[in-house]
Amino acid sequence: MRTTVGIIGAGPAGLLLARLLHNAGIDSVVLEARDRAYVERRQRAGILEQGSVDVLRAAGAGERMDREGLRHDGIELRFARRRHRVDFPTLTGGRSVMVYAQTEVCKDLIALQLKEGGPLLFEAEALAVEGVDGHSPRVRFRHEGSEDVLECEYVVGCDGFWGVSRKAVPAGLSRVFEYTYPFGWLGVLADVAPSHDELVYARHDRGFALLSMRPPATRHHPSKEVASLPIESFVSRLYLQVPAGTDAEEWADEEIWDELERRLETADGWTLARGPITSKSVTPMRSYVHEPMRHGRLFLAGDAAHIVPPTGAKGLNLAVGDVVTFARALTHQQETGSDDLLDAYSETCLRRVWQAERFSYEMTTLLHRAPDATPFDDRMQLARLERLTTSRAAETDLADGYTGFPLE
């Protein structure tokens, strides 16, 4: 099998890249180790930055997102039982974010790829990436019980942290930067309307809490646009800071609700609505960057190259930035014969990656209480939050970072 671009991984990064290349008239083949059903139900990020929304629309993949997603024009910060709303459009010149789950993005892109794009092979496990130092790299993979080879001009590894792509970068050339946080997130999905119409980020002496939401299953509203539904139609997605290594089953449902109520409490009588918890899991927290993001004709994208803690809602959006950068660079090469943008891929992506890492780290350390925190640390967190809520410059910096750094 032969193609111009071999894409490993059918997550949002790989699928969006295939769509961008298709629209540019460049052929590709996507290899995905899992089956379609797994990819379409894999729960991950739920917040799309303004730039990601714009890219999906321009790629022809925004119709259902615009119909069923939920535009958010701000977030609420809570600390010391106080509430402060950060208004994104006012601070950023009109930018906002969209609540639209990664699973739905993948469904939309899979449907487009199967209808209009090149080959998308599910249950096609990439075994190794070879020959990236030359002009004809190849991907060895197993599909339908036998091994095969995909010969390419370029390989883009969108296969996540545990994939094979990054292993093709020689160890002597790799530099890894990482930090593991001493806590994680206990996340629950609950069959109850959200208690607030925007995301709530709460700093508390007992630890961080987040109130979020997910759109309702569309089967319940076959004739209505989800975006036009009242907030009462949505379900709640909530998170609690817990010690690293926590087992989600250690927490009884009522304990979770009690702890959420404590950490989200305000002085103005706001109440938290409770309901049946339908799922619970613990997400570890880490920051990770692999440099370089390009070696020869191999390009790394998304979690294959970098991971951020979920506090800043940056993971999926960074992956979008990576594949947009590659698609623009390859289109430029095809049109002009110049490799300049391809050669600059790693440097271009890493500028944005490190800003997202910084933002995510700052949001995480601002709102989470470290296990060994001192009274001085607590007062410093409160002072930082006071600054955010009383300085337009500081608030604008947060809004700029949250709604997204420019796609170069």
Active-site annotation, residues: 72, 201, 310, 314, 402
Check: CB of residue 325 under 8 Å from CB of residue 349.
Answer: yes
DSSP string, 22-69: HHTT--EEEE-SS-HHHHHH-----EE-HHHHHHHHHTT--HHHHHH-
| CB 325 within 8 Å of CB 345 | yes
66: its two tokens: 């615009």
Contact status, residue 296 vs residue 135, Cβ threshold 8 Å = no
The CA angle 368-316-157, to the nearest 5 degrees, is: 125
| Residue listed under structure tokens 């629309």 | 57
Residues listed for the chain: 408
Q: Which contacts of 17-21 are long-range, i.e. CB under 8 A and separated by 24 or more positions?
A: 17/156, 17/158, 17/301, 17/323, 17/326, 17/327, 18/109, 18/113, 18/117, 18/118, 18/120, 19/59, 19/60, 19/61, 19/109, 19/112, 19/113, 19/117, 20/59, 20/323, 20/324, 20/327, 21/327, 21/330
